[in-house]
Amino acid sequence: MNITTLHNNSYSYLRQTNEIVQGVVDDSRYAWTFTPPSEFSSMPEVYMFIIATTEQCNLRCTYCCYSGEYEGNHSHNSRTLCEGDIQAIYDFIDKTAKTKPIRISFYGGEPLVNYPLVQYAIQAGQQRWEDDVTFSVSTNGTLLTEERIDWLVNNGVELAISIDGTQPFHDAYRVDAKGNGSYTKVRNALAYLHNNTFNQYPKVVLMMTLPSVSTLIPIAQAWHKDEVLQHYAPTHISGLTPNFFQVVAKEDWETLKAQYIQLLDAYEQHPEWSVLQTFFDEIVSYWKNRPVFEVSESTPLSTCMPVNTKLYIDATLQLAVCEKFNDRFRIGSINDGIDWQKANEMTKEYYRKRKNRCTYCPAVRMCNMCLTSIAYTDDQWDTLCHNERLYHKLHMFLFCEMAERSMLTKPSVPTLQSEHCTLNEIERKDISALRSIFSDADTQRYLPYLCDIAQTNDGIKQILKSFRTYLSKNEGILWGIRKHDTLIGFVATIDLSTNPTIFFAMHPKYRNQGYMQESVRLATQYICDTKLTNELHTEVDLNNIASQKVLERCGYKVKEEQSLRFLYCYQNYNTELQTS
C-alpha cells in the first residue's frame, strides 16, 4: 500500500511489520497464513451486557437500522420487557459474567419509552451487585426530563446520547413519526446537564451519525458557536450501516481524497473545532498506536468470539454477539444459554470467507470487517472489501499528511517559572494533593461548583479530562503550582474565546507567602502574550480579601460591584504587569 502526500513525498506500508517507510516499496507478494479457529465452549472475557429493554421508539430516524429498510432486522414495534424478564436476565448474567465489575447498558428502540422499567432494572442491579456493577443508557435524548436526568446522574448512570450536530443537520434525519425534528429536546437536556450540579459528575457520551462527510465542516463550525454544544465534544462519529436493500457503491479514491483534504485543511485552520478533532482522532488512532512487530508465523483472523467482552440480549430474550448483528444471527437465549455449536459455526464461516479473500490484502491488521459480515453475499463482500481497503489507504494518507503538517502532536501545558514556584501540568499522580486543596473550607466556600465535582477521585479525573479538552481547543489551561515537586495550588483559565475567565486556589499551608500572586501574574502574562485573549475576568466574593489583593497586585481592576461579589477584569494594553 503506497501513498503520496501533497508535498509529493511517497510512503509505503509494510504489512508484515506494520511499518510505514519512505519511498515506494512493492509489498504485494507477501501472503498471509491464517490460523484456523479452535473449537470453544466458553467466553471467558464477558463482563458487559447490552439489554434491549424495548423495541418501541418515539422517533423514526430515516437512517435507522430498525426502520424496516434493512434486511434481517425487525422494525420498531410494541414489544418490551417486564420486571420478571429483568430478574431472569440478571440470573443469566450472574451465571455468565466472568469478571467484575459488571457493566449493563440499556438499549432499544428507545429504552426511556419504558422509563419505570429502566429505573427498576438499575435499582435491582444495585441491590444484587452493589459496587460491582455500572450502568449506561443509550438514548435519543428526547425523553430526558429534568427529573429523569437528576435520578439517572445521581445514580451514576452514563448517558450515551445521540446528536447529529446543530438543528438543521440533526433534524434532517432524527424525526418523529410526524416528521418533526427532535433537536430542541436533546439540546435542552444537554443544557440542563451542563448548567446544574449533581451529587455525581454527569457521565455523558455523545454519539454522532454522519450520513455524509460533506456536511461535516458546517456542522463543526455551528457546533463550536453553539452556547451549549461548545461545552461538549462528540465522543464517537460513525457513518451509516451498509444497506444493500439500497445501493452501496464502491468508493472512488480521487473523490474521497479531495473530500478529506478539504476537511483536513479546515481542521488545520480551526483545531479548536471539537467535532473535527474527534473525527480525525478516530481516523488516525490505529496508525498512531499500531504495534510495530514482524509476523513470522500464521496469524489469527480477528473475531469477537470467543474473546468478546460483551453479549447482547434482545427484547425476546435471545442472545447475540453484539447489538450490531441482525436478527437472523442469534446464538442462544437466556433460558438455554449460548448455543456453542451455532457460535462455532459462525466463526468457522467467517474464517472460510476471509481465508479465501484476505491472503494478499494489505489491510488485514487494521481491517474492520467483523463477524457480522457473514450475512453478506460474495458480491456484497466485493464492495465492502474494496471500500475497506480504500478507507485504510485514505487514513494512512491522512496520517502521513498530518505528520508532515505537524498536526499529530497534542498541545501541552506550558511550563512557567518564577523565582519561587513553577507552573506546569497537573497529572493523575497529583490527585491526592489536589483533593486536599478542594477539601479546604475556604476553597469550598469560594469555588463551590468545582468542589462539588471534586468530592471523589473520579470527579477530579473528570475535571482533568475537561481541561485536556479545553487545552486541545485553545479554550483554557489548568496549571499546577509547585514548590519544588510539591503541588501547592492551581490557577486555571477557561472559555477564552467566549467568556475568558481565571480562577485559582492554594493549599492553606502555603497561603500569604506570595506564591499565588506570582502564579496569577505568570498565567495572565502568558495568556495575553500568546494572544489567546486580550482580557480576563473573574468573580470574587466580597469577603475573599486575599484573592482581591492578589488580583489587584496583578493588574486586575474592579469592573463592577454586585451583591456579595466583585467582578474583576484584566485588559492587555501591552504594558508590564504591576510588580508591587
State mean pLDDT over 80-84.
97
Beta strands at 422-424 and 416-417: parallel, antiparallel or unpaired:
antiparallel
**Is residue 92's pLDDT more than 50?**
yes
Reported as a pLDDT band with limits 50, 70 and 90, residue 87 is very high
pLDDT in tens, 330-355: 999 999 999 999 999 999 999 999 98
Judged by average pLDDT, the poorest of 65-74, 181-190, 553-562 is 65-74
Round to whole Å and give the CA distance between 158 and 136: 4
43-354 and 416-571 have identical folds: no
Residue 137 contacts residue 143 (beta carbons within 8 Å): no
pLDDT in tens, 115-170: 999 999 999 999 999 989 999 999 999 999 999 999 999 999 999 999 999 999 99
Round to whole Å and give the CA distance between 263 and 220: 10
Report the pLDDT value the prediction gives residue 574, as an integer from 0 to 100: 52
**Is residue 580's pLDDT more than 70?**
no
Specify the pTM. 0.74
State mean pLDDT over 66-95.
92
Residues forming a β-bridge with 168? none
State mean pLDDT over 171-177.
95
State mean pLDDT over 472-478.
88
Q: Calculate the alpha carbon distances from 322 to 57, 319, 325, 486, 523 in Å.
A: 20, 8, 6, 47, 49
pLDDT in tens, 6-46: 999 999 999 999 999 999 999 999 999 999 989 999 999 99
Chain-wide mean pLDDT for the chain? 92
Report the pLDDT value the prediction gives residue 328, as an integer from 0 to 100: 87
Residue 209 contacts residue 162 (beta carbons within 8 Å): yes
Residue 77 contacts residue 52 (beta carbons within 8 Å): no
The per-type count for the chain, helices as H runs and strands as E runs, is 16, 23
Residues forming a β-bridge with 199? none
Report the pLDDT value the prediction gives residue 21, as an integer from 0 to 100: 96
Judged by average pLDDT, the poorest of 109-113, 261-265, 293-297 is 293-297
Report the pLDDT value the prediction gives residue 240, as an integer from 0 to 100: 87
State mean pLDDT over 92-103.
91
**Is residue 279's pLDDT more than 80?**
yes
Domain ranges of the chain: 43-354, 416-571
State mean pLDDT over 242-265.
91
Report the pLDDT value the prediction gives residue 419, as an integer from 0 to 100: 86
**Is residue 461's pLDDT more than 90?**
no
More confident residue, 456 or 107: 107
pLDDT in tens, 186-225: 999 999 998 887 877 788 999 999 999 999 999 999 999 9
- Residues of the chain with pLDDT > 70: what percent? 99
CATH of range 43-354; options 1.10.443.10, 3.40.50.150, 3.20.20.70, 3.40.50.460: 3.20.20.70
Judged by average pLDDT, the poorest of 219-228, 310-319, 424-433, 545-554 is 424-433
More confident residue, 174 or 66: 174
State mean pLDDT over 349-369.
90
Q: Give the number of other CB atoms < 10 A from CB of residue 526.
A: 16
- Residues of the chain with pLDDT > 90: what percent? 71
**Is residue 289's pLDDT more than 70?**
yes
Q: Which of 265, 196, 266 is nearest to 228 (CA)?
A: 196
**Is residue 54's pLDDT more than 70?**
yes
| Topology (CATH level 3) of domain 416-571 | Aminopeptidase (3.40.630)
**Is residue 563's pLDDT more than 70?**
yes
Cell of 489: 495550588
Q: Residue 78 has what DSSP assignment?
A: S
State mean pLDDT over 430-456.
90
pLDDT in tens, 482-524: 998 899 999 999 999 889 999 999 999 999 999 999 999 999 9
